[in-house]
Structure 1
């Protein structure tokens, strides 16, 4: 995505190896460069980076508020960049909802009316609109506040109304742009908890923008790290912590509390021949945070057993491995160009962006 004059010329220069600063000197701004990725159905895909990294511009391309200078955005098998304006508005009204940073509530409308606004735009009859808005407010933890007005609510409650409005439309894709960043830390964590709890039931496809690494690590099934308009790494929180793609990502993650982010699955090793699960000092699920492995690992030389949902042994965590992972990040791996391989026959309801 390029802003300014001579956009196609700027795209050609980027393909030829020019950088952002060179283009800026010529009066154009390359906001997003070669950002290609796929979001799987039911996944929370977090895009994180510092201010100016291009993450919010990227999000606005996903719902057609900005048209890519080059490349395509595909959603549910449709190329959004090829739609006529009326068709794009229909997709945004019915299939894609957005939760903004600063709530964007109508002060003269009640909480229920705000929650049902997207349905009003769709032309849903009033009775059904109210029924769905009330249910969305219940899911967002605002049961009993339907007749209140935004100025009667705290910041966290106002953001819950914004979330309920997005849920009420039953959109396939939720776009969340720094949605919790204006909240106090404790309220912000409550909202993160609320989103994770809702996701267990609703399994929405969510693209979540944040500049906060801990928030990204907590929410993201997959995380894209952006710098200077480019995606420098895509992976799970464990991938990014254990095998950062470059020194930038490694420095970004150096202050993260690994013991609470990484799970037993991320650090487990193959059991040695003759290993007996009955002798292990503890048996933990593969999703167990490694902070909970400190005590069992310290009480025995025998590795802790790691099991799956069925109770089958899938790995072990020796004491030495636990201590090693809690040290410095492992040697960085070469960045993969920040692009997943894309094909024309991706499953439905994926979000595919290439710019």
Structure 2
């Protein structure tokens, strides 16, 4: 069962909101309602969040993402639709029951820290427990443990104004963790921080998530942040969710031009993984051909090349015979310059791919061979605007020109002769 489930959520501000929802359901757009003095902040939003998942809602200012977040814990009542939390309909709860859910099971981390200046760091971290009515000794113990988790164990007696912005945000995160809530809602929690501190906080959150496995809904306007943190991402525009999927889904298959415009500046090498772009095992296994068979480029090895004379293999696309190809998964793993898990970012494959013509092996959870990433595949995946069906994860064969360009880029890193261009010219 999903931990959190949103069903057809609408939030309309202004006159006759119920009538506005009916108009939206009939096909009216946001601008038509605005002309009548009504604002549709969220329109027909539906999604599910699984236990232990970081679900990121990404959009520009005014897209409706913060309004959506506030409906998830009852701070705003939906005009229409339901929010189910562990199967319980939060929209049907009375005020008293809703406050109990918010104080015990849902915690929120705000953008601007929201610390009490007259309370110590420890007292701030323990505030949520104080609201719950937890005895002082117990809440101080749990708050101290949360501060330790967030790297602030030595700052318990300090005052908020003695801390940097990043440290203050860690106190806010510790306060949320101290309650041991099942769901964390984070509203632009890192956007007020300097870039380096912001990245440190992202690292901190990911590290904590590995240990605590919390369910998190994270709001941001920064796509790079969304791509880095989100197990799943919802992209919002004008109150609607226009695409919902993993970072790789959104990067490789943008739903429309609006989403495509966002991903232009994303560092693909940090988002795409070896598992997303690998070629299947079947493409590199098989029986060897007879000695003297044609080279894989369709032409025999050039006389005097290192491949023919038995010298060291050169980088770039090489004229190797089919007899040199590995036969088994063990052969592929032995020949590979590196063996990496499927979740490895492509940025970590540059070195192995540049230093060897053999493909990088991608392993499954048991350490077996799951697939391979060739240098041509790597650079094709990183090319801007890779089309669906020819890009990562499709198993499609790269065109010779694309392979030659990939080899040329790899050769530029190693200083080797760009042999691939010669072979394309001969093909």
Structure 2 matches for 1:4-153, cutoff 5 A? Answer: 4-153=14-163
106-115 vs 266-275, which deviates more? 266-275
Q: Is the 8 A contact 1:263 1:290 kept in 2?
A: yes
Matched, 1:319 2:329: no
Offset at residue 300 of structure 1 (A):
4.3
- Relative to 1, partners in 2 of residues 1:151 and 1:295: Cα closer, same or farther, differing over 3 Å? closer
CA distance in 2 between counterparts of 1:330 and 1:259 reads 13
Structure 2 matches for 1:212-291, cutoff 5 A? Answer: 212-271=222-281, 272=283, 273-274=285-286, 275=326, 276-277=331-332, 278-291=334-347
Greater Rg over alpha carbons, structure: 2
Q: Is the 8 A contact 1:107 1:149 kept in 2?
A: yes
SS in 2 for 1:71: strand
Larger RCO (CA under 8 A, 6+ residues apart)? 1
1:350 match: none
Offset at residue 250 of structure 1 (A):
1.0
2:213 match: 203
Offset at residue 65 of structure 1 (A):
0.3
Matched, 1:179 2:235: no
- Relative to 1, partners in 2 of residues 1:328 and 1:69: Cα closer, same or farther, differing over 3 Å? same
1:346 match: none
Gaps of 5+ in 2: 1-10, 287-325, 390-427
Q: Is the 8 A contact 1:284 1:307 kept in 2?
A: yes
Show structure 1 runs of 4+ deviating over 3 A.
Answer: 298-302, 330-333
Offset at residue 73 of structure 1 (A):
0.3
CA root-mean-square deviation: 1.4
Q: Is the 8 A contact 2:357 2:375 kept in 1?
A: yes
2:173 match: 163
Q: Is the 8 A contact 1:297 1:303 kept in 2?
A: yes
Q: How does the TM-score come out when normalised to structure 2?
A: 0.76
How many pairs are equivalent? 333
Offset at residue 324 of structure 1 (A):
1.5
1:297 match: 353
CA distance in 1 between counterparts of 2:148 and 2:339 reads 38
Q: Is the 8 A contact 1:247 1:332 kept in 2?
A: no
- Relative to 1, partners in 2 of residues 1:8 and 1:332: Cα closer, same or farther, differing over 3 Å? farther
Offset at residue 227 of structure 1 (A):
0.7
Q: How does the TM-score come out when normalised to structure 1?
A: 0.91
Offset at residue 299 of structure 1 (A):
4.3
Q: Is the 8 A contact 2:253 2:388 kept in 1?
A: yes
Gaps of 5+ in 1: 334-355
